[in-house]
């Protein structure tokens, strides 16, 4: 799968570059020919399910693993073989890895002391102030809550002003509310401090909330890389389409290819998609449209021109979830499509067995090659 | 639950605890006797029986000929053996836990075997070695020391290994990530974490060495350690002072254990 | 595109092709010591056991490959050998009988007294092995409380003794090795998830049945470890036999010790030692094999 990479040659704007990085553990390839470039000062997320290689990639940047082949360039310098303690990179570990026998202040000061920096006390105070833990300075890690420990781990890394700050699923151990709060705080701190953050996570909402750029990884390769909006609105692979939010993927055939639109035959229905949103332009394809983009109405309701319409659906399930009403609509060809209708106050609930009409704009769908697995990236039943 | 079942349950629940406590009491009776005997003045010289209460034994600990000499010997050997076994054993534990190498399984077996071999066999074979090397006439301090380091090693390895395995390896990764090289990482992060295990192993070593009789007696020649003194005196006259030593050992060990426990509780409370 | 030439290895202890890995430097001193003073002595023991028995410490020994030594000593000392195995087995069984309830109580019933009870289990170790065995000499003495009580209850003949009998030796062995049984048992029992027992009771098992069907099988590795740690040293012990027994209760250990130190018949002593070791190895092998817990080793 071709990955979108920021073109080389941007020079100093790229703090961190991975070129054709591969990591093999025996027969198992964790990371496969990865190309990556992270703009200086941005918040970059590596998103993917467990086992996709994102943590391995992070550890290779930190120097805790060595790539089997490929180059890792930090500020233009190839750091292959360079020990972690010689790289201008710091890590916030998933388990925080706070030194239990040292106080909070000593933990935060650790990196500075190893580098022989003067004036440690003042810097530590400032950093603890930033993460709002000034009063806990003399306590030991096991006396703090999970959220507080997480902030200490962050402070300990940040204080060294690294070229790249790596975060390995740092919010995984926190409960939902705390996690949301920390997501915003981390984003704030990053903007304030202006350092390059590389954040590894499996939570797509987290990535989309925090990151400027996301790279979606699957089985050691990058499926797609771009801004959250790009990835969400215009996915290039079924994996991305399913992993970020939900997608309806419908079997279709391209029948027309001229003009600003691509024409498809979807089980007898005539559908148009903006050409720019079709990554494949002929043959059998998957037509993708997100549930919140699909409108649902009576079979009799009139619809604006240029809108894609499919009649003949029957509501098979209705769920009211407060923010929206989620429908499952069984189509004449057997597939059940998801429709999320926002709860705008216009109270209109379709009951089960009702015949409905589905419609959406040509600029809201996307087209993907049929050779891909339509179930890639979907959450598995546990 | 029906009433009969309730009663049965109650009885069952308490029976196990009662038996357990009885066994504990049974285990403590000899210790109580030893402590009592330390204040004892036997009715006559050759009899190992209760007589009258006296402070004499405590006041004149070194009165029996050879007792304090043997005590000193045991202490010397104990300290040196602990040093040797702890250093060698800790190094081995690190190798076994932190490194992959061929011969891993074989080394584990080699370490395990001395703990599973009867002392008489280990003592005999060492004696056979010394005789074969022509050292039959030179058994003494050094041969005892060699033997003690040998059998304490395994216990040190096992103890330190257990501590190392329980350690979070991401701590060392974090240290290196924070600009500490291998040496600094070891001294500032690894060692403070392992230290309680090493300390425990050292204490275990010392008590094993101090109390050893079987292996020691076979390889001691004319040198006398404290257990050997006790054994010898059991054939003749048993001085009550040995109970003083035993009581002292008990109190010291008890203090160490209680001290460690108190320290742990205070740390947890902070 | 230049490929990185570094191997995929951990930052610490990188094994390069020419340098000996760090692991061996750490391992060597200790392993060397064990090899020199544990493994090699067995060879010496074997060799000594095959010496010509007519030699002596002064005149030296000739190696005559006399395997007959084994046969001779075995037939001479069948009694002590048999006694060692018997006393050791009985003592181990007693330790299990007494130790299991104690370990169970500490693991499941002790609550906040658990640590205290554990300390009390190992507290006997804080005093000398020999001295506490001597204390038993006092407890079981002819004029002592126990003997007097048993005589008045007609459990003992009026002139009967407990000291210098097999009973005393076994009692001493049992006493000295209970902690070796309790601690592994406790470790195994402590690991059992209490919820398993709750599940058993929820599924209509009585407490006894729950114990037999759930706890006992799960504690088996601890039982195996405990019996091994008790049996092996017990069989080789001679201290209890010497202090609490008499010439009729001599165990193999007593014989070996006297052959080495008093008599000076090294080949005989060595052959007995080897016999003991081989016997124990064989017994342990079959025992562990039968109980299906090879992973222990």
The whole-number pLDDT of residue A379 equals 73
Average pLDDT in the B94-119 region?
A: 87
Per-residue model confidence (pLDDT) at position B98: 84
* Residue C294 domain flag: yes
Contacts of B189 in chain A (CB under 8 A): 99
C113 and C55 co-located in one domain: no
Which CATH code fits B66-238? 1.10.3720.10
Q: What is the mean pLDDT of residues A160-178?
A: 90
| Mean predicted confidence (pLDDT) in A212-232 | 94
Chain A residues close to C7, C-beta within 8 Å: 66
pLDDT of residue A159: 93
pLDDT at A381 over 60: no
Domain ranges of chain B: 3-58, 66-238
Q: How are beta strands A164-168 and A295-298 bridged, if at all?
A: unpaired
Nearest to B163 by CA among B128, B202, B198, B203: B198
Task: Return d(Cα C88, Cα C176) in angstroms, integer.
Answer: 12
Q: Is the confidence at residue C297, as pLDDT, over 50?
A: no
Please count the structural domains in chain C: 2
Percent of chain A's residues with pLDDT above 70: 95
Question: Does pLDDT of C166 surpass 80?
Answer: yes
In this predicted structure, the answer to whether residue C98 has a pLDDT above a threshold of 60 is yes
Q: What pLDDT is stored for residue A1 in this prediction?
A: 36
Q: Select from B173, B178, B189 the Cβ nearest to the Cβ of A111.
A: B178
Using 50, 70 and 90 to split pLDDT, how confident is the model at C293? Answer: low
Entry pTM: 0.79
Q: What is the mean pLDDT of residues B113-142?
A: 88
Residue C55 has pLDDT above 70, yes or no: no
Q: Do B179 and A64 touch (CB under 8 A)?
A: no
pLDDT of residue C17: 47
- Report CA A300 to chain centroid distance, whole Å: 40
Rounded mean pLDDT, B76-96: 94
Chain A: residue whose CA lies nearest to C5:
A69
- From chain B, the residues in CB contact with A85 under 8 A are 176-181
Which residues are paired to A367 by β-bridges?
A278, A287
Place B177 in a pLDDT band, splitting at 50, 70 and 90. Answer: very high
* Closest CB to C127 among B31, B111, B132: B31
Write out pLDDT tens, residues B19-30. 888 888 888 888
Q: Do residues C104 and C233 both lie within one domain? A: yes
- pLDDT grade for C57, boundaries at 50, 70 and 90: low
* Tens-place pLDDT, residues A96-129: 999 999 999 999 999 999 999 888 999 999 999 9
Which percentage of chain B shows pLDDT scores above 70? 96
The answer for C154, left when phi > 0, alpha when psi is -120 to 50, beta otherwise, is: left
Query: What's the mean per-residue pLDDT of chain A?
Result: 89
Of B231, B219, B120, B127, nearest to C235 by C-alpha is: B120
Higher per-residue confidence, A8 vs A221? A221
- Say which residue, C263 or A250, is predicted with more confidence: A250
Partnered with residue A198 across adjacent β-strands are A44, A166
Task: Tell me the backbone φ, ψ of residue C186, rounded to 5 degrees.
Answer: -60, -45
pLDDT of residue A327: 93
Task: Give the CA-trace dihedral at B153, B158, B161, B162, to 10 degrees.
Answer: -150
The whole-number pLDDT of residue C1 equals 36
pLDDT at position C14, please? 44
Chain C residues 58-97 within an 8 A CB cutoff of chain B: none
Residue C13: predicted pLDDT: 42
- Asked if C54 has any chain A CB less than 8 Å from its own CB, the reply is no
Q: ipTM for the complex?
A: 0.81
In the 8-state DSSP scheme, what is residue C108?
Answer: I
pLDDT-derived band at B132, boundaries 50, 70, 90: confident
Model confidence at B174: pLDDT above 90: yes
Q: Establish if B142 touches chain C: CB-CB under 8 angstroms.
A: no
Provide the pLDDT confidence category of residue C222 given band limits of 50, 70 and 90.
confident
Residues of C with Cβ-Cβ distance to B238 under 8 angstroms: 134
pLDDT of residue A249: 93
DSSP one-letter code for B189? I
How many angstroms separate the CA atoms of B89 and B201, rounded? 9
> What does the alpha-carbon distance between residue A21 and residue C249 come to, in Å, rounded to a whole number?
75
The confidence band for C23, taking pLDDT boundaries of 50, 70 and 90, is confident
Q: Do C152 and C100 share a structural domain? A: yes
Reference B211, options B77, B114, B25; nearest CA is: B77
Query: In sequence order, which residues have a C-beta less than 8 Å from that of residue A322 and are 6 or more positions away?
Result: A343
B82 pLDDT higher than 70: yes
CA distance A48 to A200: 8
Shared domain for C128 and C153, answered yes or no, is yes
Domain hosting C58: range is 39-76+265-297
Q: Which residue is closest to B190 within chain A, CA to CA?
A: A99
Residues of C in contact with A67 (CB under 8 A): 4, 6, 8
pLDDT band at A6 (very low <50, low <70, confident <90, very high): very low
Q: What is the DSSP string of C27-90?
A: HHHHHHHHIIIIIHHHHHHHHHHTB-TT-BTTTB--B---THHHHHHHHHTHHHHHHHHHHHHH
Q: Is residue C2 part of a domain?
A: no
Q: Which of these ranges, B183-187, B244-248, C99-103, C211-215, has the smallest mean pLDDT?
A: C211-215
Q: Please write the tens of the pLDDT for every residue from A16-34.
A: 999 999 999 989 999 999 9
Alpha carbons B105 and A204: distance in angstroms, whole number: 44
Same domain, C66 and C96: no
How much is the pLDDT for B236? 83
Q: Determine the residue among C4, C5, C15 to mutate to test chain A binding: the one whose Cβ has the most chain A Cβ atoms within 10 Å.
A: C4
Per-residue exposure over B158-194, b if at least 16 CB sit within 10 Å of its own CB, e if not: bbbbebbeebeebbbbbbbbbbbebebbbebbbeebb
Contacts of C263 (CB under 8 A, 6+ apart): C269
Are residues A63 and C11, on separate chains, in Cβ contact within 8 Å?
yes
Q: Please indicate, yes or no, if residue C257 is contained in any of the structural domains.
A: no
CATH code of the domain covering residue C202: 1.10.3720.10
Report, as an integer, the average pLDDT of B213-240.
Answer: 90
Reply yes or no on whether the pLDDT at A14 is more than 90: no
Q: Which of chain C's residues have a Cβ under 8 Å away from the Cβ of A83?
A: 11
Cα–Cα distances (Å) from C296 to C141, C216, C224, C289, in that order, read: 41, 17, 9, 11
Say if the Cβ atoms of C34 and B131 lie within 8 Å.
no
Residue C82 in tokens:
């048999």
Q: What's chain B's length in residues?
A: 270
* Residue C127 to residue B172, Cβ atoms within 8 A: no
Averaged confidence pLDDT in chain C: 81
Average pLDDT of C55-70?
Answer: 68
Q: Are C131 and C70 contained in the same domain?
A: no
Q: How far apart are the CA of A141 and the nearest CA of chain B, in angstroms?
A: 12
Percent of chain A with pLDDT strictly greater than 90: 59
Q: Which residues pair with A197 in a beta bridge?
A: A43, A165
Give the mean pLDDT of A329-351: 88
Contact A377/A235 with Cβ under 8 angstroms?
no
Q: What is the pLDDT of residue C3?
A: 36
Q: Is residue C225 a part of any domain in this protein?
A: yes
Q: C15 pLDDT band (50/70/90 cuts)? A: very low
- Using CA atoms, how far apart are residues A201 and A46, in angstroms rounded to an integer? 6
Query: Measured between beta carbons, which residues in chain C are less than 8 angstroms from residue A23?
Result: 8
Is the pLDDT assigned to residue A258 strictly greater than 60?
Answer: yes
Å between A157 CA and nearest CA of chain C: 20
Looking at per-residue pLDDT, the higher value among C160 and A139 belongs to A139
Comparison of pLDDT for A80 and B228, the residue scoring more: B228
Query: Looking at the DSSP assignment, which residues form a beta bridge with residue A265?
Result: A253, A270
Give residue A348's pLDDT: 77
User: What is the predicted pLDDT for the residue at C206?
Assistant: 82
- Would the pLDDT of C124 be above 50? yes
Does position A4 have pLDDT exceeding 50, yes or no? Answer: no
Q: Is the pLDDT of residue A382 over 60?
A: no
State the average pLDDT for chain B. Answer: 87
Cβ pair A31, A23 in contact under 8 A: yes
Tell me how close the Cα of A64 comes to any Cα of chain B, in angstroms: 7
My answer on whether C131 and C56 are in the same domain is no
Phi and psi torsions of A312, nearest 5°: 95, 5
Q: Chain B: nearest CA to C286, how far in angstroms?
A: 15
State the pLDDT at residue C147. 81
Tell me if residue B135 falls in helix, strand or coil.
Answer: coil
Determine, for residues B31 and C135 on separate chains, whether the beta-carbon distance falls below 8 Å.
yes
Are residues C68 and C99 both part of a single domain?
Answer: no
Structural domains in chain A, CATH included, are: 11-233 (3.40.50.300), 246-369 (2.40.50.100)
Write the pLDDT tens digit of every residue in C63-72: 777 777 788 8
Q: How far is residue B196's CA from residue B204's CA, in Å, rounded to a whole number?
A: 12
Does the distance separating the beta carbons of B107 and C124 come in below 8 Å?
Answer: no
Q: Which two three-digit tokens encode residue A203?
A: 């939570």
Chain B residues near residue A98 by CB distance under 8 angstroms = 174
| pLDDT value at residue C157 | 75
Of B107, B126, B93, B117, the closest CA to residue B216 belongs to B126
Of A84, A115, A143, the CB nearest to B177: A84
């Amino acid at each position: 799968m071709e990955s979108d990479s920021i073109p080389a040659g941007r020079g100093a704007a790229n703090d961190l570059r991975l070129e054709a990085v591969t990591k093999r553990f025996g027969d198992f390839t964790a990371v496969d020919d990865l190309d990556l470039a992270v703009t200086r000062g941005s918040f970059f997320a590596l998103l993917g399910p467990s086992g996709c290689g994102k943590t391995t990639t992070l550890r290779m940047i930190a120097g805790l693993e060595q790539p089997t082949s490929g180059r890792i360039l930090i500020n233009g310098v190839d750091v292959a073989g360079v020990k972690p303690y010689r790289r201008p990179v710091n890590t916030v570990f998933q388990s925080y890895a706070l030194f239990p026998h040292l106080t909070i202040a000593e933990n935060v000061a650790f990196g500075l002391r190893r580098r022989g920096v003067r004036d440690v006390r003042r810097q530590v105070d400032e950093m603890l102030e930033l993460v709002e833990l000034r009063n806990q300075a003399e306590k030991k890690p096991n006396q703090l809550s999970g959220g507080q420990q997480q902030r200490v781990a962050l402070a300990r890394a940040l204080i060294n002003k690294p070229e790249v700050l790596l975060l390995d699923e740092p919010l995984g151990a926190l409960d939902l509310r705390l996690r949301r709060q920390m997501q915003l705080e981390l984003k704030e701190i990053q903007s304030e401090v202006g350092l390059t953050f590389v954040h590894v996570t499996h939570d797509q909402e987290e990535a989309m909330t925090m990151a400027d750029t996301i790279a979606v990884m699957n089985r050691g390769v990058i499926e797609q890389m771009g801004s959250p909006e790009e990835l969400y609105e215009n996915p290039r692979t079924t994996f991305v389409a399913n992993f970020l939010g939900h997608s309806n993927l419908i079997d279709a055939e391209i029948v027309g290819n001229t003009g600003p639109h691509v024409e498809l035959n979807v089980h007898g229905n005539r559908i148009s998609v903006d050409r720019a949103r079709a990554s494949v332009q002929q043959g059998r394809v998957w037509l993708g449209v997100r549930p919140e983009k699909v409108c649902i109405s009576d079979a009799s309701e009139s619809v604006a021109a240029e809108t894609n319409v499919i009649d003949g659906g029957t509501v098979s399930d209705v769920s009211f979830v407060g923010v929206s009403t989620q429908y499952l609509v069984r189509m004449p060809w057997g597939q059940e499509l998801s429709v999320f209708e926002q709860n705008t106050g216009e109270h209109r609930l379709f009951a089960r067995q009702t015949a409905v009409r589905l419609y959406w704009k040509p600029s809201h769908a996307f087209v993907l090659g049929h050779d891909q697995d339509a179930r890639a990236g979907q959450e598995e039943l546990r | 639950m029906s009433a009969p079942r309730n009663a049965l349950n109650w009885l069952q629940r308490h029976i196990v605890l009662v038996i357990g406590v009885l066994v504990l009491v049974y285990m403590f009776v000899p210790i109580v006797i030893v402590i009592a005997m330390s204040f004892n003045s036997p009715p006559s010289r050759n009899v190992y029986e209760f007589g009258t209460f006296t402070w004499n034994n405590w006041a004149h600990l070194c009165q029996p000929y050879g007792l304090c000499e043997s005590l000193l010997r045991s202490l010397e050997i104990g300290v040196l053996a602990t040093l040797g076994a702890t250093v060698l054993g800790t190094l081995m534990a690190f190798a076994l836990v932190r490194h992959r190498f061929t011969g891993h399984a074989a080394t584990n077996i080699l370490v395990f075997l001395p703990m599973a071999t009867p002392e008489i066999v280990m003592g005999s074979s060492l004696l056979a070695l010394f005789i074969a090397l022509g050292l039959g006439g030179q058994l003494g301090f050094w041969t005892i020391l060699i033997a003690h380091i040998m059998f304490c090693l395994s216990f040190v390895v096992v103890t330190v290994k257990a501590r190392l395995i329980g350690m979070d390896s991401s701590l060392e990764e974090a240290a290196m990530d924070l600009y500490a090289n291998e040496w600094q990482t070891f001294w500032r992060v690894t060692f403070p974490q392992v230290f309680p295990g090493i300390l425990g192993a050292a204490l275990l070593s010392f008590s094993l060495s101090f109390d050893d009789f079987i292996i020691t007696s076979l390889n001691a020649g004319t040198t006398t350690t404290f257990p050997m003194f006790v054994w010898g005196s059991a054939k003749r006259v048993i001085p009550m002072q040995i109970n003083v030593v035993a009581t002292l050992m008990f109190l010291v060990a008890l203090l160490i254990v209680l001290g460690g426990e108190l320290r742990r509780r205070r740390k947890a409370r902070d | 595109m230049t490929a990185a030439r570094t191997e995929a290895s951990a930052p610490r202890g990188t094994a390069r092709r020419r340098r000996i890995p760090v692991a061996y430097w750490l391992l060597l001193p200790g392993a060397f010591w064990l090899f020199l003073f544990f493994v090699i002595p067995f060879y010496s023991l074997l060799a000594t056991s095959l010496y010509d028995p007519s030699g002596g410490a002064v005149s030296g020994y000739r190696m005559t490959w006399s395997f007959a030594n084994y046969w001779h000593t075995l037939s001479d000392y069948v009694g002590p050998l048999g006694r060692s195995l018997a006393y050791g087995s009985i003592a181990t069984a007693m330790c299990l009988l007494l130790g299991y309830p104690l370990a169970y109580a500490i693991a499941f019933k002790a609550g906040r007294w658990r640590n205290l009870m554990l300390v009390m289990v190992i507290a006997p170790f804080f005093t000398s092995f020999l001295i506490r065995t001597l204390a038993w000499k006092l407890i079981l003495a002819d004029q002592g409380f126990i003997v007097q009580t048993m005589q008045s209850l007609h459990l003992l003949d009026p002139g009967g003794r407990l000291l210098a009998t097999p009973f005393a030796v076994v009692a001493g062995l049992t006493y000295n090795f209970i902690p070796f049984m309790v601690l592994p048992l406790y470790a195994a029992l402590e690991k059992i998830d209490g919820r398993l027992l709750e599940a058993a009771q929820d599924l209509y098992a009585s407490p006894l049945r729950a114990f037999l069907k759930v706890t006992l099988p799960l504690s088996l590795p601890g039982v195996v470890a405990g019996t091994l740690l008790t049996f092996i040293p017990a069989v080789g012990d001679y201290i209890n036999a010497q202090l609490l027994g008499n010439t009729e209760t001599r165990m193999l250990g007593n014989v070996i010790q006297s052959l080495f130190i008093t008599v000076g018949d090294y080949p005989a002593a060595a052959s007995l030692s080897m016999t003991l070791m081989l016997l124990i190895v064989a017994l342990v092998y079959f025992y562990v094999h039968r109980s299906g817990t090879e992973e222990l080793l």
